[in-house]
Amino acid sequence: MKLKPLHDYIIIKPIEEEAKFGILRPETVDKEKPEKGEVLAIGPGKLLENGMRAEMSVKVGDVIIFKKYSPDEIKVDDEEYLIISEGDVIAIAV
């Protein structure tokens, strides 16, 4: 099944950070939601009061940093994805 986001929503494939050797990590760190992901699909943009759509700031393929507790998690065909609003994107990795 393919997903097509609406409005200013973004579908993300989470990127898990690798553990660094020599750094102690608490057991709960693996249960934390990722804050980084690759953009797989974007909506057409937020509908403005004048009927126009705001242009999206991200594009498919971008790696983004987003607010930790903002995404909704979904599972499609045994793959896990995150859906967030463009307003929850903090930065684009360059």
Render 8-54 in DSSP notation, one character per residue.
TEEEEEE-PPPPPTT----GGGGGSPPSEEEEEEE-S-PBPTTS-BP
Q: Are 82 and 73 in contact (CB under 8 A)?
A: yes
pTM: 0.79
**What are the two backbone dihedrals, phi and then psi, of residue 81, each rounded to the nearest 5 degrees?**
-130, 160
Digit-coded pLDDT (tens) for 38-63 = 999 999 999 999 999 999 999 999 99
Q: What is the CATH number of domain 9-15+32-92?
A: 2.30.33.40
Q: Does the pLDDT at position 22 exceed 90? A: no
Q: What pLDDT was estimated at residue 26? A: 60
Nearest to 34 by CA among 18, 48, 46: 18
Q: Where are the domains of the chain?
A: 9-15+32-92
Residues 75-88 have a mean pLDDT of 92
